[in-house]
Copies of this chain bind each other. A is one copy, B any other.
Amino acid sequence: MSVPPPLNPRERILMGPGPSTVSQRVLRAIGAPTLGHLDPQYIEYMDETCQMLREVFQTTNPLTFPVSGTGMAGMEAVVVNLVEPGDEVIVCINGVFGGRMKDNMERAGATVNTVEIPWGESFSDDAIAEAVQQHPKSKLLGIVHAETSTGALQELTGISKIVRDAGMLFAVDTVTSLGGHEVKVDEWGIDAIYSGTQKCLSCPPGLSPVSFSPRAIECMEARKSKVQSWYLDVSMLRNYYLGSGGRAYHHTAPINMVYALRESLAIILEEGLEARFARHRDMHRLLRSGLEELGLSYIPEHSLHTLNCVAVPDGIDEGAIRRRLLEEYDIEIGGGLGVFAGKAWRIGLMGHSATRRNVLTLLAALKDCLG
């Protein structure tokens, strides 16, 4: 039997599309002694975590909790709980994650109407209004707030009104925005939302915060069929996360991951949401001006602050540059995904990674590598 050498991961600066750098405070929290998932002390930690999640989501939705899987499990939880075989839905696609949402919806038995625009662009209210008019029987419209594959930010307030006026549920992917861009679940009329812990929350990957509005719960309660996933079935999960007078065991919660999430949310609330969003905006501007000085141009017109997607100049081996950044500087940035593979770099400014020191370090290193 062969035992590998001791674990000794390098201390990278993580400025790719996620995970972002995890602070020492969160790394200490994740290593705290494991409690049982029904221990009263753990239940209290979990409740505090859910309450802080509500504050970060800016919602009073009782049904707000971390799904025990990474961001894609959150997407699937939203889809399989709201969609039944035969349902018609609308999915907006302008990158990889809209495409995945469509795939998820189809696997849940939905007929998916798509609205597609070129990668890197954001949807206009008019495009959504037209789709909603064309497919009036749709139960739900799903859209990505922050397309991790293109770096495009999507405005949501106008779209939300259109969708809800048409009597549809509004489902939003905020994997790369929550904790870095403003996300207002209640004010923006979002019915179902999911995120990931490893982006702007700067917690290790492994959990997917979700929140469901009372309208979404009504929809779930009116289901004719069982949710196809046992693991993600919210009708059972709510008895654990919200059960009064005793929590019903469903599955063993990932205790230490919840410790980490609790700590990362505390850090966010200590900083304050507004200050945090301003920091992400300022770091984006600083990075942007530096990248443009190096001759690099942004792909999306309406760029995220948290993920900066720039075109790789002609004649440059983008993979070789990323390898040098990793090997010589211990800095990780991301390559392009999907249609942008080999053509783009994706530079994350998320949570604990979004600092002046990191931005200036990356710019200096990149300048060196581009020679």
Q: Does A189 contact B (CB under 8 A)?
A: no
Contact of A72 among B11, B251, B262 (CB under 8 A): B251
In the complex, what residue of chain B is closest to A260 when comparing beta carbons?
B256
- Cβ contact within 8 Å between B230 and A48: no
- Judge if A239 is at the interface, Cβ distance under 8 Å: no
Quick one: which of B55, B72, B227, B263 contacts A1, CB cutoff 8 A? B55
The reply to whether A107 and B228 form a contact with Cβ atoms under 8 Å apart is yes
Q: Does A370 contact B (CB under 8 A)?
A: no
Give chain B nearest CB distance to A35 CB in angstroms: 5
* Contact assessment for B263 and A7 in the assembled complex, using a CB-CB cutoff below 8 Å: yes
Whether the Cβ atoms of A10 and B22 lie closer than 8 Å is: no
Is A205 within 8 A of B19, CB to CB? no
Answer whether A52 and B4 are a contact pair too, CB < 8 Å, given A9-B35, A31-B27, A255-B204. Answer: yes
Q: Are A226 and B107 in contact (CB under 8 A)?
A: yes
Interface contact A230-B31, CB-CB below 8 Å = no
Q: Is A329 an interface residue (CB 8 A)?
A: no
Tell me whether A361 is interfacial, beta carbon within 8 Å: no
Contact of A256 among B30, B33, B76, B249 (CB under 8 A): B30
In Å, the complex CA distance between A108 and B226 comes to 10
Per-residue contact bits, chain A 13-51, to B (CB 8 Å; 1 contact, 0 not) = 010101101100001111111111101111001001001
Query: How many Å lie between the Cα of A255 and that of B26 in the bound state?
Result: 14
Given A12-B35, A230-B76 in contact, is the A204-B45 Cβ separation under 8 Å?
Answer: no
A252 touches B19 (CB 8 A): yes
Given contacts A33-B22, A36-B332, A249-B337, contact A76 B229 (CB under 8 A): yes
The reply to whether A228 and B231 form a contact with Cβ atoms under 8 Å apart is no
Determine if A213 is an interface residue (Cβ-Cβ < 8 Å): no
Complex Cα–Cα for A35 and B8 (A): 11
Cβ distance A38 to chain B, nearest Cβ, rounded Å: 8
A9-B34, A68-B206, A198-B252 known; 7 other A-B pairs, CB under 8 Å?
A: A7-B259, A22-B256, A34-B198, A69-B231, A107-B228, A108-B228, A204-B255
| Chain A interface (Cβ < 8 Å from any Cβ of B) | 1-4, 7-12, 14, 16, 18-19, 21-22, 27-37, 39-42, 45, 48, 51-52, 55, 68-73, 75-76, 100, 103-104, 106-108, 196, 198, 204-206, 226-231, 249-257, 259-260, 262-263, 266, 269-270, 272-273, 326, 332, 337
